[in-house]
Structure 1
Amino acid sequence: MKHKVELSWLGNLAFETNMDGHKMITDAGIEFGGEDKGLRPKKLMLTALAGCTGIDTALIVKKMRLDITDIKVSVEGELTESQPTYYKNMHITYEFFGKDLPHKKLERAVKISEESQCGVSAMYKQVIPVTSEIIYHEE
């Protein structure tokens, strides 16, 4: 199987794509000559990781029939200082909300996602360190 995305130039530094029926615009910031019309491509790498592991974790939590009221996933990437800048590492924070949260089962759900389900994580881990932590919010 292959995936393909196609972007159309909107002028200056902005591009638009229609991915699976969802429109998305990418652009550079004003400080780099763009017009701030859309998302930054590099930050989409963080979004891809958060989205991939978030979907996996939510599916696993659902299959485990755990009573969770909310899940938040954030990813922070540290950029190199020299050009071209790229992420030299990424850190995922999973936040679970609910009453009497089953810590061991949630840790297992995250582990399954990170070690055998999330293709974005698997790819990134081949080139940079990817770490994670879990924060519990007991209601």
Structure 2
Amino acid sequence: MKHKVEMNWQGNLAYKADMDGHELITDATPQIGGDGKGVSPKKLMLTALAGCTGIDMAMILKKMRVSVDDIKVSVEGELTEEQPSYYKNMHVIYEFFGTDLPHQKIERAVKLSEEEYCGVSALYKKVIPVTSEIIYHEK
């Protein structure tokens, strides 16, 4: 299977993509000559990891019949100082909200996503360290 994304120039440094009927605008910040009309392409790498593992979490927990009130996935990436700058590491923070959360099942779901299901994580781990932590918010 192949995926394809086409970007259409919107003037200056902005581009528009149509991905499966969903529009996305990328642009640079005004500090480097853009207009700030869209998201940073580099930060989309963090978004891809959060989205991939987030989808896994929802699917795995549903199959486990684990009920949570909410899930928040944050990804932090540290950039190199030299050019071209790139993420030299990433850290995923999983936050689970609810009552009487089953920690063991949630930890298993995170491990399954990180080690077996999330293709974005699998690719990133080939080139940079990717770490994670779990935070519970219980009522």
Using the size of structure 1 for normalisation, the TM-score is 0.99
Partner of 2:115: 115
Partner of 1:85: 85
Partner of 2:50: 50
Deviation at 1:123, TM superposition (A): 0.1
Q: Is the partner of 1:83 in helix, strand or coil?
A: coil
> CA separation in 2, counterparts of 1:46 and 1:118?
13
Query: Which 5+ residue runs of structure 2 have no aligned equivalent?
Result: none
Deviation at 1:60, TM superposition (A): 0.3
Moved more, 124-133 or 60-69: 60-69
Deviation at 1:82, TM superposition (A): 0.7
Residues 56-95 of structure 1: matches in 2 within 5 Å? 56-95=56-95
Moved over 4 A (4+): none
Deviation at 1:6, TM superposition (A): 0.1
Deviation at 1:67, TM superposition (A): 1.6
**Amino acid of the structure 2 residue aligned with 1:122:** A
**Amino acid of the structure 2 residue aligned with 1:73:** V
**Amino acid of the structure 2 residue aligned with 1:131:** T
Q: Is the partner of 2:10 in helix, strand or coil?
A: strand
> CA separation in 1, counterparts of 2:80 and 2:17?
28
Deviation at 1:71, TM superposition (A): 0.3
Q: Is the partner of 2:42 in helix, strand or coil?
A: helix
Residues 2-13 of structure 1: matches in 2 within 5 Å? 2-13=2-13
Query: Which 5+ residue runs of structure 1 have no aligned equivalent?
Result: none
> CA separation in 1, counterparts of 2:97 and 2:36?
34
Identical pairs, percent = 73
**Amino acid of the structure 1 residue aligned with 2:119:** G
**Amino acid of the structure 1 residue aligned with 2:101:** L
| Number of residue-to-residue matches in the alignment | 139
> CA separation in 2, counterparts of 1:136 and 1:107?
11
